[in-house]
């Protein structure tokens, strides 16, 4: 495994946030309310179960989200942002604001149903 202190910051950024689904998942979890797997999947739309599971595992391994399993009947799992994950919201908001300017759109709300933070 590469020592994170010796990796290019942009490579680290892409390792952490790369892919189509990680930032939208963080956006969904930015509501401060824990979200169930099925809610995240429904808000993302066309993501497969395999890709959602993989993305959630990677975000958890990177310390950006936490997974809480409730051993009730029926068993359910909830996901939420960690403090580290909350620290990414400023960066993601800035990236979304840049995209809005580039898209020449006044509001992302009409286009992005999962971003509860924008």
pLDDT at res. 32: 84
Per DSSP, the residues of 16-57 read HH-SSSHHHHHHHHTTSS-EEHHHHHHHH-S--HHHHHHHHH
pLDDT at res. 61: 96
pLDDT at res. 51: 97
Q: How many CB atoms lie within 10 A of CB 105?
A: 12
Stretches in the chain below the pLDDT threshold 70: 1-5, 105-118
pLDDT digits (tens, 9 = 90+) for 40-72: 999 998 999 999 999 999 999 999 999 999 998
Alpha-carbon distance of 56 to 107, in angstroms, equals: 28
pLDDT at res. 55: 97
């Amino acid at each position: 495994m590469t020592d994170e202190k010796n990796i290019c910051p942009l490579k680290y950024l892409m390792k952490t946030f790369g892919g189509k689904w990680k930032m939208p998942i963080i956006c969904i979890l930015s509501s401060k309310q824990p979200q169930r797997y099925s809610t995240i999947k429904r808000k993302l739309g066309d993501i497969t179960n395999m890709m959602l599971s993989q993305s959630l595992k990677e975000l958890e391994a990177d310390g950006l989200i936490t997974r809480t399993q409730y051993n009730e009947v029926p068993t359910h799992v909830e996901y939420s942002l960690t403090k580290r994950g909350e620290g990414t919201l400023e960066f993601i908001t800035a990236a979304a604001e840049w995209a809005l300017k580039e898209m020449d759109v006044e509001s992302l709300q009409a286009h992005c149903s999962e971003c509860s933070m924008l």
